[in-house]
Chain A
Amino acid sequence: MSSVPAAPPQQEFRHEAYFYSGPDELVAGCTGFLREGVAAGEPALVVLAAEKLELVRRELGAGGEGVLFADMAEVGANPARIIPAWQEFVDRHAASGVGMRGIGEPIWAGREGQELVECQGHETLLNLAFDGGPAWRLMCPYDTATLAPEVLVEAERSHPWVWRGATEAPSRTYCNPLDSSLPRLPDPPPAALELALLPRSMAPARQLAARLAAQAGLSVSRVAELTMAVNEVVENCLSHAGHGHLRAWCEGGGVVVEVAGGRIDDPLAGRRVPDAASEGARGLWLATQLCDLVQIRNQDGVAAVRLHMHRGGTGAG
């Protein structure tokens, strides 16, 4: 079995893709990486799908003392919730001065369509969120046996370091996060409902979203949460731009609401943990925490925020 060898001591955030094939290689790579960290006294957090977590945990056995585990299905159902989870981990341990290690697998074969697009955007934003901050290593496993080749190509663009088996090398195609942009959002279906957003008038948007969400078969609590998220995003849009445009439609097993207007220049909008004492914006943060997928683009001269809510999705809590 291969294992990831020791990397030279590093003083900065290091974002590494780990290309593996099948569960045996996954477990070998993860446990090697974690044991090294445990030996150095570094705290570690592992965020994987539940069944993979169990494999890693079993293999680590008693050697995994101090390693924390979290289910990616809970933490990263909406990939925009993963950066704040890592931020919390880093904030908690940065002061201790030792390094930190994370393993996170946000992309697996079941992730498709817009969800995959957002996961890839998340991988890119990790560089932006943690570059220049405390030193720690984040390893992102990619299963070469099940993922499409273009997904692996993209992983090399978003990770400055790539492990293949036991060999680590800098990525030749790594792209500065400020230079990479997410693809355009697909056009809404022709049947999408439309609503002009007028100054200080949020109620019509709430009513439309709630009605469509109920028609899409969402549960009572999900209807209430989507209504709240839509209201916050509409308030944001109106407070910056004064007016805007809402479109909403049913898609797959749920509903999508898009709010367009103004501009959003912070690429990490919605991913920064709000400070209880600050007056700062909480709208996009709350929408990101409540919805199954949040997509933000500046396109066609305005910011578009798309909120996805599935019929049976998993909320953040």
Chain B
Amino acid sequence: MFDAEHWQTDGRGKHRQGGEASDRCPHRRPFPADFIGCEAHQAVTFVPTDSLHRPLLTALTCRHLTAGQSGTGSSARYYARCALGAEPERLRWLAMVTPARLEVMRVLQAEFDAATAPQRDALFAARAGWREQPRSIELRHELDARVREFLATATAFVETNADRFGDVGLPPGALLRLVEDLTGAWARSRGEWDDGRRGLDGRPRSTGRPGGDDLAALPLASQAFLRPVAEAPWRQDAGQGGTPPGTEQAAEVLLDTGAVRVARLSGASRVTLSGEVDAANAEVVATALVTGLAGRGDRHLDLSGLLFCAVAGLRAMVQASECVEPGGRVLVHGMPVHLQRAMHLVGWAGLPTLVLAGSGVSA
């Protein structure tokens, strides 16, 4: 579904010095249907084709799986590359999308795949036939008919589930335009994007890529959802003064248990808390936060890399805020709505020392 990235191989990859790429997908493939090994995993149905573009079988892959290339020239080798990047980047993507949204999206994806399976298979078969005989007007019409059938089924599914798509941040209208654009471009392409520079309506695309305009119309978190981190606009925030979670330049790491990380930008009053905080690590988190937030005046706590936070984690923030020097406060950035609600329910809203940044009200 609306798989903007799967149909191409961009060949880029990042390498550690000495060979092994840090963005290599560490998991066994093909992925089983109940795969739970990677928190960022996004199952999509993939139909591999033979050299004549005939569909071979239907398999499950991951939206983020691409081919990376290591080495150059005759020593070049391909490897299974995660488009999100290495582990910290996968987690950053997950925090942006949020684990709850990803779970709901996974269910929608599976239902969509099941609902459109017959039309998708017919579409693949028609495309293979046309690519074998590209001059055949008949086969071209056959392909166009299958595209329309697939889109009609996809449209019916999205419209039936409009509320659920809206809930995950994919407005049905924008989503359907994206699906239509990508499907049309893919069906008629010869494996390159070159002939996809115009939409089905013949208008040239401003972004020069199928789906680009539609993607740009979606909310930022939804864009992160559909395209790899490497291209996501939010990633460029780093150069504009924003601090994407986990990308601390010259950060002083105060705690890194694997599950949770506390870091302080050197010389700054900003501390990032990322990962999962629960009763098992809340105590060490509290200690790290007290250290990181020590100092005069307003301190800043960035939660945009937080994947989960228990009440014990909220308590750690409250404790740390109470240790700030008199007159100072902890301004919290990026607290998810359900955590704001939890703070309210357990009676920690309105504390003078712990304040939601930007809103003017206490966390």
Contacts and interface: CB of A to CB of B under 8 A. Distances in A.
A218 B312 contact: no
B339 to A, nearest CB: 8
B144 interface: no
B100 A210 contact: yes
Nearest to A211: B103
A290 B345 contact: yes
A178 interface: no
Given A224-B100, A317-B341, A235 B346 contact: no
Contact of A200 (B36, B279, B344): B279
Contacts of A268: none
A223 B104 contact: yes
A232 B313 CA distance: 11
B104 A214 contact: yes
Interface string A121-155: 00000000000000000000000000000000000
Given A210-B100, A282-B346, A317-B344, A202 B310 contact: yes
Nearest to B348: A276
B108 to A, nearest CB: 9
Given A200-B279, A231-B310, A286 B346 contact: yes
Given A214-B106, A274-B346, A283-B311, A219 B167 contact: yes
Nearest to A277: B347
A67 B106 CA distance: 49
B342 interface: yes
B103 A214 contact: yes
B161 to A, nearest CB: 10
Interface string A246-278: 000000000000000000000000000111100
Contacts of A317: 341, 344-345
B342 A223 contact: no
Interface in A19-56: none
A282 B280 contact: no
B33 to A, nearest CB: 13
Contacts of A315: 341
Contacts of B336: 224
Chain A interface size, under 10 / 10 to 19 / 20 to 34 / 35 or more: 35 or more
Contacts of A282: 311, 346
Contacts of B101: 220
A275 B36 contact: no
Contacts of A273: 347
Interface residues of B, number: 32
Contacts of A242: none
B107 interface: yes
A201 interface: yes
A283 B103 CA distance: 24
Nearest to B347: A276
Contacts of A214: 100, 103-104, 106-107
B347 A232 contact: no
Given A200-B280, A228-B342, A235 B312 contact: yes
Contacts of B107: 214-215, 217
Interface string B156-191: 000000001001100000000000000000000000
A203 interface: yes
B217 interface: no
A221 B337 contact: yes
A141 to B, nearest CB: 29
A225 interface: yes
A262 to B, nearest CB: 14
B304 interface: no
A227 interface: yes
A206 B280 contact: no
Interface in A264-317: 273-276, 282-283, 285-286, 289-290, 315-317
Contact of B278 (A203, A213, A285): A203
A167 interface: no
A191 B21 CA distance: 42
B99 interface: yes
A239 interface: yes
Contacts of A224: 98-100, 336, 338
B308 interface: yes
Contacts of A228: 310, 338, 342
Interface string B95-129: 00011110110110000000000000000000000
Interface string B237-253: 00000000000000000
A96 B307 CA distance: 47
A207 interface: yes
Contact of A220 (B36, B100, B346): B100
A312 to B, nearest CB: 10
Contacts of B168: 220
B59 interface: no
B149 interface: no
Given A217-B164, A276-B347, A286-B311, A235 B100 contact: no
B100 A203 contact: no
A225 B99 CA distance: 12
Contacts of A206: 308
Nearest to A226: B100
B100 A232 contact: no
Given A214-B106, A231-B278, A221 B338 contact: yes
B255 to A, nearest CB: 17
B280 A210 contact: no
Contact of A231 (B104, B167, B308): B308
Given A221-B337, A273-B347, 11 more contacts: A200-B280, A201-B280, A206-B308, A213-B103, A224-B99, A224-B336, A227-B308, A232-B310, A276-B351, A285-B346, A315-B341
Interface of A: 200-203, 206-207, 210-211, 213-215, 217-221, 223-225, 227-228, 231-232, 235, 238-239, 273-276, 282-283, 285-286, 289-290, 315-317
20 contacts: A201-B280, A202-B278, A202-B279, A202-B310, A206-B308, A214-B104, A217-B107, A217-B164, A220-B100, A221-B338, A227-B100, A231-B310, A235-B310, A238-B279, A239-B279, A274-B346, A274-B347, A282-B346, A283-B311, A286-B345
